[in-house]
Amino acid sequence: VAKMAYRTETINPKVAPAPAELQDKHYFRKHGAGAYYGQK
């Protein structure tokens, strides 16, 4: 993921970060109280 982010910023330095809602969705599906992906 880090390599992909690095390459994206190299190609387009003006790229915006993912919205907080999207970041939270992916974080909490694995680490939240109702985790449903990966280890709890």
Rounding to the nearest 10 degrees, give the CA dihedral for residues 4, 8, 11, 13: -140
Residue 36 three-state SS = coil
pLDDT at 14: 97
H or E element that contains 13: none
User: What are the domain boundaries of the chain?
Assistant: 2-31
pLDDT tens for residues 1-40? 899 999 999 999 999 999 999 999 989 998 988 888 876 5
pLDDT at 7: 96
